[in-house]
Every structure is written in C-alpha cells, then in structure tokens.
Structure 1
Amino acid sequence: MGKKHQGRESTGEPLQHDPEFAGPLKNRSCTDIICFLLFVAFLAGWGVVIVFAVINGDPSRLLNPTDSRGRVCGMREYANKSLLVFFDLTRCATPKVIATGCRTPQVCVETCPTENWFFNPASPQINSKETRAKLICQDGVDPFDTTQSVSDLVTKDKCAYYYVQSKAFGDRCIPRDISSQSGHIFNAINATLSQTQKWGPISQYAVLEALLKSMKYVMRFATLQKVAEGVFQDVKTTWWLLLVGFGVAMVVSFIWILLLRIISSFMIWFSLIAFIALSGFGSYYTLNKYLTLRKNLDNSTMSPSEFEFTTNFNQIVELETTWLVLFIIIVTILIVCLFVLIFLRKRIRIAIALIGQASKAVGSIMSTLFFPVVPYLLQLVCLAVFCVVAVLLASAGKAEYRLMCSIDDCQCDGIKENETCSMDSFNASNCPGASCQFYDYVVDPNIPRLHIYNVFALFWTMFFVSAFGEMVLAGAFASWYWALNKPKDVPTFAVTSSLGRTLRYHVGTLAFGSLIIAIVRMVRVLLEYIDHKVREKTDSKVVRCLMCCCKCCLWCLERFLKFINRNAYVYCAIYGKNFCVSAKNSFSLIMRNVVRVVVLDQVTDFLLFIGKMVVVGSVGVASFFIFSGEIKPVEGYLPEINYYLAPVIIITIGTFFIASAFFSVYAMAVDTLFLCFLEDCERNDGSAEKPYRMSKDLMKILEKKNKLKDE
C-alpha cells in the first residue's frame, strides 16, 4: 500500500468527475506576467540591434571584392569596375590567404587581362606608348605620365609587374588553364626573368607552380561566392517554376488533408503503402544508377580538376559514391518502416482511429486548416529579419590597413609586415618593397555580442510563434472534444475564441516555454562552435567522443522539453493555468498513462510523418525528373540553368515546410485529443452520471461504451 500511495504522490491523483466541465474555461486570468514583460524588453533590445545594424552595415562589402584601398568593386564610383585583379598572384600561394589576405596590390578593373604580359626592363620599347597602354595600375596612377618611367611604376608596385590571360571567377580575375598556354608563358618568362631579381633566382617552372598554387587558394576564397551567384541566377531564371512547384505542393497537401478528413483509414494505409513503394523505387533507381556509373570507367575514375570541382555542382550527381550513399540511406529507411509496420500493426489500428477523430475535429472546425498560415508567415518574417540583421552586422565596421611586403621580408628599418598603417601617412619611398593595403573591416568589439543576441532572438521568436500556433489550435480542438453533442455544441468561432484567449491571457506563458527551448538550442549551438574549435586543435578520439555525448544529451533534452511544452500549452489552453502548473499537471497525467503515451501517441506521429513524406517525396521526385531532363516533352520548355539541382532542392525544401504547415494541424489535433482522451478516461466511467465524451468509434475500438439511464 505504501508503494502504491508513493506512486500516486509522484504522478498526482487521478482527475475527478466535474459535471460542469465542458471544455476550455472562460473565466481565467493572465499568466506568467514577468516573462511577458521580459519578452517585450527583449524585443525592444532586438529593435536597438536592428537600428544599429541598419546605420552601420553595408552588405555590398560582402557581395563584392574590395581593392587594396578598401573600395568596393562594382559599387558607387567603381560601378563599371566590378572585377578584381591581383598584381602578383604568386603572393597568394598560401592557405593563409583566406585569413590574412593576399600580400600584393589589388585593383578594380572593367575586364580581365586577355593576354600574357611580363615586364622586361631590357626591352627597347619599355617606355613606349604601346607598353604603357598594357600596364594595369592602381587608381590615381597615370601610366602615360612620362615623368615616371615604366620601371619606376613597376618596381614601386604602382603597376602590375606581369599578368596572364585570365577569366572572371567570383568577380576575381583568375588565370585560365595554364597548362594550355604554358609555352607562351615559358617564352615570356625566359625573356624577362633572367634580367631581373623581382622573384629572385627561380626558374620558370617555379613561377608556373606558384601561379597554379595561388590559383587554388584564391579560387577557394571565391568559390562560395561563385556558387551563391549561380544559385541566385538560377532562382532568378526559374522563379515562376518555383512558384508553380510551391503551388502544386500546396494543392497536393490540401487535397491530401481533405481526403484524410473523408477517408482517414484508407489514406493512412495508402500513405504507408505509397511510402514503401517510393522507398522501393528509390532503392531500385539509386542502385541502378550506381551500377551504371560503376561500369563506366570514365565516371568511376572521374576526378574533376582541383579548380573546378566545387563549382561543377552538377557533377556530384554523376559520381557513383553519391548514388551508393543515397541507396544505403533509402534502404535503411525502408527496413525501419517495415519493422515498425510488422511489430506495431495492432497499435496502428488504434492510432488510425485517433487520427480519424482528428479528421472529424478538423472537419467541424475547417478554419484550423488555414490558421497555420498565420504563424508560418510570422516565422518567415522573423527569419527574414534575422538574416538581414546578420548580413548588416557582418558588414559593419571601418576599413583597416596593414603593411604588406612584395617579398618575403621587408628589409627596411621600422617596417614590420602585418602592422596596421594609414593610407594617408604611409610613405612608400621609405621602403620600396612595402605597401599599405586594405586588410579587413574592423568591427566594434561589441558586434560579436550583437550577433549572439541576434541568433538568440531568432530562436526565441521562432519558438514563440510555434508555441502560439500550438496553443490556439489546442484550445479549438479541446472545445470540440469536450462538446457532449458533436458537432451541435461545438463553438461556431472556436479558432477565433482560442486566439483571443491566448493573446489576452497567455502571451507570458508562451514566452516562458519558448525561452526554455531557446536557451537549450543556444547551448547546443555554442557546443557545436566549441566542438569545431576543438577539432582544429586536437584529434583526440576521447575528446571527440565526449563532445558527441554532450551534443546527444542536449538533443534529447531539447526533444523532451518540447514534448513537455506542447502538452503544457494544451493544458494552459484548457484550464488557463500558468506554465509551471500546466506542465506539472500534464506531465502527471502522461506518467499515469505512460504506456499509452509511449506507444499510441508516437505511432500516430509516425503515421502523420509518413503521409507528409509521401507528399514531399512525390513532389521532389517529380521536380527531379523534370529539371534533370528525364521527361523529354517538358525539356524544351525549361530555361537554361547553372545547377539543375538548385530548383529541385528549393522546391523539395519548400514542399516540406508547406506540407508541415498542413500536417501540423493534424499533429496538434491528435496531441490535444489524446490528452483530452486520457482525461476523459480518468474523469468519467461511462455511466449515466459520468458519460464519456469521446466518439462512438473510439469507444468501440477501446471496448468502452456509455450506459443508458435505464440500464
């Protein structure tokens, strides 16, 4: 008896029958007011960060390259000069170029060099107009000024010492395939390097090697921008196709939900069969692709050049390893799904009945299908504000200049490489081998803190909006469940009433619950950052294992807290209690029915997830076949794009969020009705005095029934 009593104390006493209880209580008061005030103050602080970012940020610094004087190519007075040329690209032949910059003057130009040119001091035409016309000089330097010889212009780094035929890559002039023009470069080097000590006593092969190496690091620096520009161009070209894809995804999701409302049992089983069929087809297709590429020696040994593999994004699809990995993933998912169906087939029948109840609730309150558009748009606004502020903060700061040496070490008194300098006061005549160049934009020491504030604001607002949508829907579906005569007693404006109660009384509760999840998510992000730094300094497997365990524990904690919060919002929507009381009562109710919760609730989530994946998979596969050219009749109507996978990925991701918005209604309906069902079983026993509020279909499956008064 002691153990039984102790168990009741730990999980709370079962709920008692209340004949006057008929759903969400109308008489309630404001909850968690302190958290509400804290949330308002935090939003005000975010507003201050936004104003600071708008005043000090300049996104063009991130989108365009910057010359040695800190001026942005392609912007303002350099609108016609959008490309960046390096005077001596061999100075970029170091992995540190991404962090320290290239130790050579850089200027903005209209077009990249179209020929190879090397300075030859012994040439009789060295000071001719033809030679001066070929010079690429810093801004403000006139190559036709006869008071300065070409030798002075070149040796003082006012003009480029040499350049080779180049192409634009990421708004930077990068040499073309040097192997195809190596003969011309060899001849030019032989004619010029033997008469100068610019590079020192090195061979033409060393210069070529330095050029190749420098190309690699500079291209790595520009690759991300290049790919981003290509994807942006594809989005710009195919925007109408993306909208069509999103429209199709919305129509398919809506039709699926309507069919689920009418024939829920058939649609659930159809979802399972369709998911298995799609997984089976995916397994066959990926395996067939892998075997086909395996037989092709060119593809199996294909190794794109070191300079182009990151930009030839479409070649990823032609690699056999890609299809092998996809095959393993799809087969694993298929096997897991089959095991779930085999071992939980009895529970699936009950879960389908619960989803059927959710279908009836959605059918009685059709406005719940359209309400998720509101939190969805609010989340888009929060995400857009975060992205804009992040870009503006990243581009805020003042230009910093540092001393750069054209040789390995500056042989001048008082000159030390990488020291800060001033463009106005620096005198190049004191040390011909040194120059004062733009290095980076120095930001205020507080900006990293503003970045952290901005990230946390994203998490808190996103989770707050999600919690807001959950509580509003929970209040609407709870009013449907507890109505004794359905749908006659269901409130006409159930969603509007729940929305009003939530905004008037429970914004503080939403802020409290979302704050907890935001803190855990922020800790996870910081842990990821620490893990990244640890990997750079050590390869210890013990440390990596500990970090992995910590990340896993935090992920589990976040999932658990989300589960607690979701049920707390349901309880708060019904009874109007604060977050702590709602979380305690809902958790106690769940623990008293832990077996049902673990099995039945998770199975319903799994079934809804399968349905969502069928919609996403169908639209994603269709878009893949269309944009990859597999469907020949449509191929002629498609515009030319850089990466055909870009619109496929965008449509698939968009479809996932669209389908999630529709299926989230059912997920919330199931969770609300399930919690109400557990309460119903504790409050009532089916007698005439305590009748069950659940539907007859659910009572039939659970082998329960209401007794009439004369029985």
Structure 2
Amino acid sequence: MKGRKGRHANPTRSEHVLVQEPLVRPADDAGLRSRVVSEGEALKYDPEFRGPIKGRSCTDILCLLLFLVFLVGWGVVAGFAATSGDPSRLLYPTDSFGRVCGKDPGLEDKKFLFFFDLTKCASPKVIATGCPTPQVCVEKCPSKNWFYTSATADKKDLICKDTVNITQMTADKLVNEGHCARYYVESDDLAGRCIPKVPDGVIDMEGVPILDDENEPVTGELLAKASKFLARFYQASEVADGVFQDIKMTWWILLAGFGVAMVVSFIWILLLRFISAVMIWFSLVAFIGLSGFGAYYTLNKYLTLRNIDNSTMTKAEFEFTTEFSKYAELETTWLILFIITVTIFLVCLLVLIFLRKRINIAIALIGQASKAVGDIMSTLFFPVVPYILQLFFLAFFCVVALFLSSAGKAEYRVMCPGNVCVGCSGVTENATCNFETFDNSSCPGAMCQFYDYYVDPNIPRLHIYNVFGLFWSMFFISAFGEMVLAGAFASWYWAFDKSKDVPSLPVTYSFGRTLRYHIGTIAFGSLIIAIVRMIRVILEYIDYKVKQQTDSKIVRCLLCCCRCCLWCLEKFLKFINRNAYVYCAIYGKNFCVSAKNAFSLIMRNIARVVVLDKVTDFLLFIGKMVVVGGVAVASFFIFSGEVPVFKDHIPQMNYYLTPVIIITVGTFFIASAFFSVYSMAVDTLFLSFLEDCERNDGSAEKPYFMSKDLMRILEKKNKFKEE
C-alpha cells in the first residue's frame, strides 16, 4: 500500500498524441512514450511528469525571423515619417504663403488665420478647393465690425499681409491694391480660424453698405452663408481642440479616475479569490440592476423631453453645433439608449433564469481558478508588463501615423475670385502654380495661393504598413501574455499535491521558457489574426466607398455578409490560437501541431466546452462590465454636476462627456488586464482537465491530477484510499 501511495504522489504521464496516428513514437528528451490508439483509448504515462515539459526546442523560427524583419521595416517607415513630416501642419492653420500660423519664424504670436473677403467662401466648393481669398496670420481675431472708406480709413485699423511695408504706402493704396482687407466683422476663433459670429443666422452689419474687392455689396446674409460653409469645414478640428483643452484641464482627474478603476478592479479580483460564489452572483445581480436602472433612467429622460416643446431648436442650428450637450437635449438620443439598455436587461435576465444550474458549475470552476491565482499571486501583477508594451506600440503607431499624415510639400493653386479667369489664356482655376514665379498680368485678379501639402503616392502604402504593424504587435504582445500565464497555471494544475508540488516562481520560469523557445510560435499565431483583421479593415473601407458610389442593396448586402463572415473567422481563430498557446506552453510543440492537438481535444469534448467553458467566460465578462459600468455611471454623475460634493471642484469644460468617455474606456482596459488573468486561468485549467479526463480514469495507476473540489464539481473521483 505504501508503494501505491508513493505512486500516487508521482503519477505517470504521456505526451498527448494526435488521433489516428498509427505508429508508436520514440521517447522524447524527457523519456516520454505514447502509443497511438483509437480515440478515447488509454495512453501510457511517464512517472516523472510534473507539468510543462523541460526538454523542448525553439519553434517556428522562420516566423520569428519574419517578425524581426518586419519590425526593422517598421523602424525604417518611422524614420522616413520623422524626416518628412511636420505634425504642426495638422494642428495649426496655414496662410496663403504656406506658412504655419503660430509655428513658423516670425509668426510665433500670430496663431489665428484671417480671411480677407469671406464672401468668396460662400460656396460648397470651398471644402474641396479652399477659399479663394488672401489669408494671413493674425495675433487675434477682429473684435468689431470695420469697413474701409476713403474718409475714415486709418492704418491702425487695417489687417494686411505682413509681406508689405505699410509705412511707405497710403491706406487707399494698401486696400485698393489688395494688400489689406477691405472689411472685417466681429469674429470668434474656430480651430484657429477667424469665423464671424452668427447669433441669429444673420450677421448685423449695422446698416453700412460695405463693398467687397469687386465693389459688390457685402450683406449680413452673405457673410452668414460663408461662415456656415467654413464652420462645416473646420468644425471637426474645433471639436478636437475642445476635447484637447478638456484633457489639459482635467488630466489630474483622469489619472485619479484610472487609479480608482485600478483599485476597484484589484479589490474585485481579491474578493473573487475568497468569496467567488458571492462575487459572481453579486456581479450578475448588479449588472442586471445597472441595466435595469439604465432602462428606467433613459425612459424617464425620454418621456420628460417628449413633453417639452423644443421646436425652437431648428435642424440647421443643431447641425452646426459643436456642443455634445445638445445631443442630450434630443428625445431620440434617450429613446435609442433606452432600447439598448432594456435589451441588455432582458437578455441577462433570461440567461440567469434558464442557465442557473450551469452557472453554479461555472462558478465552481471560477473558484478553482481563484485558488490557482491565490497560489500564484504574481499572475495578478504580470499583466502590467504586456499592458505597458501595448501602450508603447500604440503610442509608436500614433506618432508614426501623425508624421506620415503631415508628410508632403506645399502645393499652390490658381484662385479666381468672381470667375476672373474666364476668358484668360494660360490661366486655369484650381491649376497648380509656382508661388514665386506666378504672373497674373494676363489675368488681373487671379492669385497663386497655398492649397494643401502634396502627398507622395507611396504615403498611403506606408500608412497600411503602419496599421498592420499595430495589429501584429498588439496581437503578438497579447499572445505572449497568454502563453506565459498558461504555462504558470498548467504548472499548478499538473502538480498532484497542490499544496507541495507547485514549482516555485512559475510565472518567471514560464516567462523564460516562452521568451527562449516560443516567440516564433507567438509570431505565427498573431500574424494570422493580424492578416484577418487587416482584411476586415480593407473591407470596411470598400464598404465606405461603395456607400458613396452606389445605392445597390445587393452589393451592400454581399459586403455585409463578407464582414460578418470575417468577424466570425477572427473570433474562431482567436479561440484556436488561445488553446494552441496553452498546448504549446505545456508540450513545447510548434503552432500547427499545438493548434491541431488542442482543436482535436476540444472537438472530442465539444459539449463540455460549449456548456461549461463559455458560460464561465460569460460570467467573467459580466464581472468586468460591472466594474466598468459602475465607474462609468459614477463619473457621469460627477462630471455632469449632479453630485453637489464634487460640483465646485470640477473645472469648466467644453464637453463634460470627454472625461467620462476617457475614464470609461480606460477602466475597460484596466479591468480587462485584471480579468484576463482569470480568463486565462479558466481556459488553461479547463483544457488541462479535458486532457486529464482522457488520460486518467481515477484508478491507482492513473489518478486524476485535478483538485478534490474540481473532482467533486464534475462528479469525478480517484478510486483509491490513501493511508
């Protein structure tokens, strides 16, 4: 009996062998031997098995070399972008001479762009061709209405091009020769451009007959129309600037919000370690409660706004507003939110009712994952490493994209105010020109003006390379974290005595094994996912272009089906990859072999996978959503001013939703980093459990490696008694 007991402490193992392989393979470096038989038949085992094998070699080396070459190429793209791009072109406006306001020498204090004659902008084509009027950088936008007359002209009121010496010319000559603006009106700054104020849709010109450069009357309606088109053109930039200003004002609050999210996530995971059943049921009830409260709150807001007469807000006024708060004043917004929240509420309620028995089993499995995490506490802190690496590559991608977007040379085009180019020989509107050598003697009034920056045809290809680099690097780092955690949790599962046989520093050893032997396998798996994701992005772009070119329902339906199929394919491949990483972490095989073995094992136990593993993933997702939803709701009430305690401490912002959205998104990623540990623990333990059930039968010669609690949950037991 003592001999048998010793055998229990050192149970035998076998290497998992591909089904339908009709031969006996020789022992590997660890002395492993296995005999291939029909599916489900017993296998031979090695008494020295202690979890992830030690005798292994490097896998998928060619993919590793390909990944390294790709990273070198990405560095070359970054170098080209850094030498060719200037992000200030995207952040600041550019005058008629191609100089960047507030950036170029001599214009450091002139951050705003002023248009000489806004009536030339009163056409939709300004979005494509630019406004055909001189544009200069000024220190501040006009704060009054001013117009030129010979009797009242004063040089101190003029806004002129800084390339002319106004001290040597009279005011009449400066204005009549086009060196200075003939008029200007009170304006506001919109994305660095001086746009006239339009309080009631019409600019008040105080009854003064202003004439433009062609001696045509300038009316308030005409200026309002021009302002409308310019506002359309620069509205997105103005919103971005407002969001940037909000971030600058609330950066310390955002950091505090991220800190709170991290603390809440850590406490949640810590409680899950000791009272997993209570926390899971609380997560379910809390999520249903949050969605139910959301449905009630949105319905109440919808009914309230429905009874309010908001017909005074015209469609035009709303269309051109840059205030996000206007959306909260529309009953349609709250109706959409109500439909979303009530749908989530009903789905979760039905899941709770019909899957309550399966939920109990899944909770027990999470409890086992909690014990594994508790025995290997370093797994809770390891996600910080891939998280920081992902932030680095994301920042690298953004910087390269920014520089690539601003790469190019200044391009000048012919501008023809009032169609002055009609009938002129050799001068064509919107044709490219050379600013220094342009001659308008044959066509007076025509101007060679800065239009945009010429983009090299290869820049779009570099953008594609940069985007693919982001996908591959992010998936690579995520896969690396998954394999390291899988190796650590597999060491815990395959320890026969969980209190004594778990190796010390399992995360460190798993990290070393992965880094030394299996970087190529990770590069292989992440490359597959990156390719599928890139195809999805290209298909989204094609769908966007198709919407602009045709209204064919058949074409759009086919594209929608393709997008849906690719989404399903990506999800399926991620599932296969995740289990392949678990198999590779344990047995040290290459990607293809690991993926095939893992998939075969899953297909032989598909019922258990669907019923148990996926319900467990759903419960962990609910827990994560409770953390994210709780922080999001709290930040919404705080920043909207509905919490009196914080109301006086919140700075005035352009859009109060800016910090709410940022904190919510940040909380999602922070919570994902913590909950991913549990998710990987569940997947690793579950795959190991399936392997354990196939190899072992609970007899004295083939005892189960699973813990006693897991055996009780799944109605398994070892058929021997220990003395």
Normalised-by-shorter TM-score class: over 0.9
Which residue number corresponds to residue 112 of structure 1? 141
The answer on whether the counterparts of 2:203 and 2:224 sit within 8 Å (CA) in structure 1 is: no
> Aligned letter for 1:486?
K
Show the 5 A alignment for 1:246-257. 246-257=258-269
Among candidates 4, 12, 18, match of residue 45 of structure 2: 18
Q: Which residue of 2 aligns with 1:40?
A: 68
Q: Does 1:165 align with 2:181?
A: no
Corresponding position of 1:229: 241
Out of 323, 335, 350, the position equivalent to 1:339 is 350
2:195 aligns with 174
CA-CA distance at 1:212 after TM superposition? 2.1
Matches within 5 A, 1:85-96: 85-96=114-125
Which of 514, 518, 538 in structure 2 is aligned with 1:526? 538
Whole-Å Cα distance in 1 between the matches of residues 716 and 648 of structure 2? 61
SS of corresponding position for 1:140: coil
1:181 Cα shift?
7.2
Is the contact between residue 146 and residue 185 of structure 2 (CA under 8 Å) also seen in structure 1? yes
User: Percent identity of the aligned residues?
Assistant: 69
Give the partner amino acid of 1:325: I
Tell me the SS of whatever aligns to 1:184: coil
Question: Cα distance, 1:159 vs. partner?
Answer: 2.4
1:80 counterpart (109, 117, 123): 109
SS in 2 for 1:705: coil
Distance 1:583 1:19, change over 3 A: same
Query: Counterpart of 1:578 in structure 2: which amino acid?
Result: N
Name the structure 2 match of 1:271: 283
**Do 1:64 and 1:73's aligned partners in 2 also have CA atoms closer than 8 Å?**
yes
- In 2: Cα distance, 1:133 partner to 1:582 partner: 79
SS of aligned partner of 1:224: helix
1:570 and 2:591 correspond: no
8 Å contact 1:12–1:588 — kept in the other structure?
A: no
SS at match of 1:407: helix
Please give the secondary structure, in 2, of the residue aligned with 1:84.
strand
Task: Specify whether residues 455 and 183 from structure 1 end up closer, same or farther in structure 2 by C-alpha distance, changes over 3 A only.
Answer: closer
Find 2:325's aligned residue among 303, 314, 339: 314
- Answering whether residue 617 of structure 2 is matched by residue 617 of structure 1, we say no
Aligned to 1:66: 94
Q: Quote the Cα distance in structure 2 between the aligned partners of 1:226 and 1:168.
A: 9
- Superposed CA offset, 1:671-700 (max 9, x none): 111100110110101111111111112211
SS at match of 1:438: strand
Alpha-carbon distance, 1:419 to partner:
1.2
| Superposition deviation, residue 408 in structure 1 | 2.3
Q: What CA distance in whole angstroms lies between the structure 2 residues aligned with 1:30 and 1:700?
A: 39
- d(CA) in 2 for partners of 1:593, 1:131: 89
Distance 1:706 1:383 in 2: 50
Structure having the higher helix fraction is 1
Give the 3-state SS of the residue equivalent to 2:526 in structure 1.
helix
Larger deviation, residues 178-187 vs 433-442: 178-187
Identify the residue that residue 542 of structure 1 maps to in structure 2.
Answer: 554
2:388 counterpart of 1:377? yes
| Equivalent residues in 2 for 1:74-153, closer than 5 Å | 74-76=102-104, 77-120=106-149, 123=150, 125=151, 130-146=153-169, 150=172, 153=174
| C-alpha separation in 1, matches of 2:683 and 2:486 | 8
CA drift at 1:632: 0.9
Instruction: Report the alpha carbon displacement of residue 155 of structure 1 after superposing the two structures with TM.
Output: 5.0
Distance 1:219 1:12 in 2: 72
Could you tell me which of 667, 692, 697 is aligned with 1:680?
692
Shift of 1:634: 1.9
Contact 1:480 1:487 in 2 (8 A): no
**In 2, distance between residues paired with 1:17 and 1:563?**
29
What is the rounded CA distance, in whole Å, between the counterparts of 2:174 and 2:39 in structure 1? 90
User: Take 1:432 and 1:353, find their aligned partners in 2: how far apart are those partners?
Assistant: 85
Counterpart of 1:396 in structure 2 is 407
Name 1:4's counterpart in structure 2. Answer: none
Q: 1:239 to 1:176 in 2, by over 3 A?
A: same
Equivalent in the alignment of 1:361: 372
C-alpha deviation, 1:9, in angstroms: 8.6
- CA distance in structure 1 between the partners assigned to 2:578 and 2:129 by the alignment: 48
Partner deviation per Cα, 1:286-307 (whole Å, 9 max, x = no partner): 1111112222213x66347538
In structure 1, what is the Cα distance between the partners aligned to 2:156 and 2:440?
Answer: 24
How many Å separate the matches in 2 of 1:587 and 1:378? 30
Match of 2:11 in 1: none
Instruction: For 1:190-205, list aligned pairs within 5 A.
Output: 192=211, 197-199=214-216
Could you tell me how far apart the structure 1 residues matched to 2:215 and 2:605 are? 82
User: How far apart are the structure 2 equivalents of 1:180 and 1:583?
Assistant: 64
Q: How many residues align?
A: 688
3-state DSSP of counterpart to 1:306: helix
From 609, 612, 620, give the equivalent of 1:608: 620
Alignment partners' CA distance in 2, 1:437 and 1:239: 40
Q: Distance in 2 between matches of 1:16 and 1:92?
A: 81
2:490 is the alignment partner of 1:463: no
1:27 to 45, 55, 58: 55
Q: Distance in 1 between matches of 2:473 and 2:447?
A: 48
Shift of 1:186: 4.1
For 1:145, give the aligned amino acid: Q
Where structure 2 has 5 or more consecutive residues not aligned to the other structure, the ranges are: 1-18, 23-36
Partner residue in 2 for 1:3: none
Residue 114 of structure 2 aligns to a residue whose secondary structure is strand
- Distance in 1 (alpha carbons) for counterparts of 2:214 and 2:455: 39
Task: Mark the CA change 1:180 to 1:94 in structure 2 (over 3 Å): closer, same or farther.
Answer: closer
Contact 2:198 2:224 in 1 (8 A): no
Distance in 2 of aligned mates of 1:415 and 1:329? 57
TM-score norm. by structure 2 comes to 0.91
Matched position secondary structure for 1:238:
helix
Instruction: Give the C-alpha shift of residue 552 in structure 1.
Output: 0.7
Report the counterpart of residue 34 of structure 2 in structure 1. none
TM-score (norm 1): 0.93
Instruction: Give the 3-state SS of the residue equivalent to 2:113 in structure 1.
Output: strand
Supply the RMSD in Å over aligned alpha carbons: 2.2
Q: Deviations over 1:403-433 (max 9, x none)?
A: 1111225042211111111111112344221
Instruction: Give the conservation status (yes or no) of the 8 Å contact 2:698–2:718.
Output: yes
Change (3 A) 1:115 1:583: same
Structure 1: 5+ residue stretches without partners: 1-6
1:660 is the counterpart of 2:687: no
CA deviations 1:627-659 (Å, max 9, x no partner) are 111111221122222211111111111111110
Pair 1:429–1:261, CA change in 2 (3 A): same
Q: Is the CA contact 1:93–1:215 (under 8 Å) kept in the aligned structure 2?
A: yes
Q: Distance in 2 between matches of 1:443 and 1:12?
A: 63
**Alignment partners' CA distance in 1, 2:620 and 2:368:** 14
Q: SS of the residue aligned with 1:297?
A: coil
Residues in 2 aligned to 1:467 and 1:531: alpha-carbon distance in whole angstroms? 30
| Superposed displacement of residue 180, structure 1 | 8.2
In structure 2, the CA distance between the partners of 1:490 and 1:119, relative to structure 1 (3 Å rule), is same
Question: Deviations for 1:480-520, whole angstroms, at most 9, x for unmatched residues?
Answer: 00100002111111000000000000000000000000001
Matched, 1:386 2:361: no
